[in-house]
Structure formats: structure tokens, C-alpha cells
A and B are shown apart, each in its own frame.
Chain A
Amino acid sequence: MHASPPLSDRRIFLRFAFIGIVLIAIVLLFGYVGGWLAPQRLTAQRMVNQLQANAGVFSGYRRNHAKGVCVAGYFDSNGQAQAYSAAEVFAPGRTPVVGRFAIPGGNPYAPDSSVPIRSMALRFTQSNGQQWRTGMNSMPVFPVATPQAFYEQLVAQQPDPSTHKPDPAKVKGFFAAHPETAAFLAWVKTAKPSSSFATEGYWSLNAFVFVDAKGERHAVRWRMVPEANDAGVGGSNPDYLDADLTQRLAQGPQRWHLIVTLANPGDPTNDATKEWPSDRQDIDVGTLVLTSTEPQESGACRDINYDPLVLPNGIQASDDPLLPARSAAYATSYLRRTSEEARLPGTVQPNAQPETK
């Protein structure tokens, strides 16, 4: 059967060596691309590990914005955004929404007064099955512009094992090394933990791109502006936000106007630390109406990952580097918490004592 002359032992050895080298090279390349052989690369896993190092691990909960409540309602579009985006959600009419209010941080038992920031996440389900998911915060700018800087901020804020509080020198050092945080720091100085989710405005922070029916692209940001304006400062109940929301919704739906801001040419779309100038065109494109709330442990929002890159036709990501990082980190958080929900081996179980480093 062997037509070729036999190989010498040396040639056989060399040929085996060649085969081995080819296979090893492929494995090494795979390991590099997969991040195992690139320990310095910032991955979603490392980012979420750092969130866990800062707050502890709470089985089944999101790794950030862990404390929250589910809400539901709808969005009534007035058609004003149709000239800029072909998304079905902007055609005149109603789109159902499942949302979630939350506060930042990984501890689902943190008191509502612990941070001055509130967040609103929404999932719009269009009748054509496409979805628009967005996660917004009650501040006009984000502290940092890049995933790497966000990671460094988390590292700087990691509680010291002896004091259980962040080391003020490290936090100060971080902000000194990151002058882009100035706008956020100026905002946070005046911010107070509000007593209600319903009286807050929520900003997209990141820029996105609307694509109209002709395929023209328009850089935008959006925000939700509340109709309720009786903002106060919360009381002594650590869960006053939930109580307030339940009470308000018992009296009637809560409304926000979705305001879309159109960028001028040259406005930065890749830097969430910078607001666009205030003279940019704002368009009121419709009303978000929230009608009900449920606890997050059993509500419809529990198993939703509010990944800001789940977008319908007509809305696309901008070049903001935070967007893919949010998408990747949220996916990692979602996998970890759903794995805990599924009680998969190796996951932290709810009965276990919360690990508070």
C-alpha cells in the first residue's frame, strides 16, 4: 500500500516534531485570543471580578445596580423621531415596556441613601419582535470615558480589608490622575439622594446613532424627563425608593418625556464625560408611562439583561468605547447570576453567607 520509500528515523522524528509544533502554535494562538495568555488585557470577567471584590457576591443578583425594582408600562410615540430613525418604536403608536429602577453598587441590601445616583433601564418590545434596551443614569455625564479608566476607578474604590472602606488616598489619587472626571465630580457635589425614582431624569450618557429610512445617520443622545417634580430627600427607611414608587403608582401612572438630542457635526460621540453644548436641538419624541411595579426577585425584569447594544433596526451604537464594554460586562454578570439561579455547580448559593470582603 505504501508507494513512497520508507522514511529514515530522523525524518520521522522531524515530521512528528513539525506536526507537534503546528498543533501547539494553534493552541497558543487560541489561548492568546481567549485572554488566558494575555493576563494584562482587560476582559469582562476581570471587570466583573472587580465589581465583586468591591461589593461582595450576592447570589442571583446583578453585579452592579444590584438593588432595584421591576416596573412595566408602555411608550407612546408621537412620531417626531421618525425623521431621524426608522425604528418601529418611533412610529406613532404604543410599544410595551418592561423596565427596572435601581441604584448603583453591587449590594442588593444597600440603603437607598448610600448613593445619590438612580438608574432606569428599559426594554421596548416592538411588534416586529425587535427590541430596544437602554440603561440610563440620573446624571448627565459619566465619570470616565474608557473601560480601562472605569476599571481603574473600581480598583481604587475597592474597600480596604482592615477598614472595610475605600482608601481615601487611592480614591483621591485616581481622580487626580483622571481629569476627565471633573464634570462628574462637579455634578456629584450638588447631588442629593432623591426620595423618589419618579422625580428623577435619566440620561443615556453614551451617544448612539439613529438611522433614518433613507439610511442617513444622526448622532444622538437621549434622556427621560419626569413629569413629577415634587422631589424630596428620603427618610430613614433604607428602602424608601421602593415604598415611594409603590405609593405613587397606586395613585396613578408615572410619566416621563423621552427627549432626543441631535448632535452637531463634530460633537464628540466617544466621550461620555462631556455633555454636548446646551443649544443642541432637543426633540420630545413621546411619553413613557409606567403603570405597575413588582419586586425584582419575581418580576418580569429579573431575567432581562439591559444590554445597551440590544438595538432595533434604526438605532445603532456610536463609537463610544464604553458601549461594547457595558455589553460585555453585562453579559458576564447575566451569565453569573443566571448560573446561580440555575444552581449550577461552583456558583454561590442564596443560603450561603454573603461574602463581604
Chain B
Amino acid sequence: MNTSSTSFVFTARVLHWLMALLILSMLFIGIGMVASVSERHAWLLSIHKPLGIAILILAVVRLIVRLRNPPPPLPDDLPAVQKLAAHASHWLLYVLMLLIPLVGWAMLSAGGYPVMLSHSLRLPPIFPVSGAAFAILRHMHAWLAMLLFLTFLAHLGAALYHGLIRRDGVLSSMTGYRPK
């Protein structure tokens, strides 16, 4: 086996680690800002919106990279249920990366808020103004983010399990680091 078939392509690895950092920051920013009444609330909120749009754009780029560069296969001896869990959780992560920013954008649109990414940059609304729709989208945004957090935990746990216990090359296919 050569490196190209056992590792993700370089672009995919860069996107993975960059987005890992952004998404994990985003989860903490999101949960922190709604639980704060201090200056942090406004400060975190001003980061949350442009960062969310950045994640949305990166997720689209990443989906294209993924579709054009199939990932390395999972180990042959991995139990079928674990293979299924791996594939399902990866696609769930893609869905959430794309869906959560869109729901956030739609939610602000439904609430009649101008979607301001900075003091002067405004995105157009993508949903008609409706208080009831705002409430549904706002709850969806939070629950989908919770699901993303849980999926991230499972993903991290599984990555460490592959790297530390099974030591089957799955973790190194994304780190690009091979100790041998």
C-alpha cells in the first residue's frame, strides 16, 4: 500500500484540522454566548456569525474535495457495525456542518433581524419573517448543535480508540503522521 491510498489527501487533512478547530471553537462560543449577560455576550455573538458563514463555505469546499477524493478504506478486520457507525457519523458530520449555519441564517431572517457579519456587511434574508418560524428554527439550531457536539465526542473517542487501542492506521490517515 502506498501513502496515497492509506491517507486522506493533503487538502482534505488541512480542511479537517482547520474545521475541527473552528467547529469546536464555535460550539463553545455558541453555548457560552447564550449563557452570558456580560460583554462576552456581544463579543462572542459578533464572532459567531462570520465564523458560522466561514464554516458553511469551508464545508461546501470540503464536500467537493471529499467527493473528488475518496477516503482511504477502513481496515478490513473492522467489525461491520463499527464500519457502519464510522460511515454514518461522517455523513452526519457533513450534514450538520452545512445545516447548522443555514438554520442559523434562516433563524435570524425569520426573526426579522438584519444578518450582520460585521458593522457594515449584511447578508440577505433567506427565510420570510415569522415569529413562530423563528422559534422553531432557533430551537433547531440549538438541538442540531448539541447533536454535533455529541457526534464530535463520538468521533474523537473513536479516533483515539483507533490510534491508541486498535493502532490500525485510521488515526494516522488523518494526521499524516506514521511513527514506523
Contact = CB atoms under 8 A, between A and B. Distances in A.
Interface of A: 1-4, 7, 12, 15-16, 18-19, 22-23, 26-27, 29-30, 33-35, 38, 41-45, 47, 128-131, 147, 211, 302-305, 307, 309-311, 313, 316-317, 319, 321, 323-325, 327-329, 331, 334-335, 337-339, 341-344
A129 B167 contact: no
Interface residues of B, number: 48
Contact of A34 (B35, B113, B134): B35
Contacts of B3: none
Given A27-B153, A328-B34, A338-B132, 6 more contacts: A19-B165, A34-B31, A305-B113, A321-B38, A328-B37, A338-B138
Contact of B42 (A22, A45, A323): A323
Report which residue of B27, B32, B40, B41 has the largest number of chain A beta carbons within 10 angstroms of its beta carbon.
B41
Contacts of A329: 37
Interface of B: 27-28, 31-32, 34-42, 45, 75-77, 111-114, 116, 119-120, 122, 124, 129-136, 138-139, 149, 153, 156-157, 160-161, 164-168, 180
Nearest to A304: B112
Secondary structure class of chain B's binding surface, majority of residues: helix
A325 B116 CA distance: 19
A38 B135 CA distance: 26
A303 B129 contact: yes
B42 A309 contact: yes
19 contacts: A15-B165, A19-B157, A22-B156, A23-B157, A33-B35, A34-B35, A41-B36, A42-B37, A44-B34, A45-B35, A313-B119, A316-B119, A324-B39, A328-B34, A328-B36, A337-B131, A338-B134, A338-B135, A338-B138
B153 A335 contact: no
B28 A7 contact: no
The 6 closest A-B pairs by CB, nearest first: A35-B35, A342-B132, A303-B131, A338-B135, A313-B120, A34-B31
Contacts of B112: 303-304
A324 B41 contact: yes
B167 A2 contact: yes
B42 A33 contact: no
B122 A1 contact: no
B160 A129 contact: no
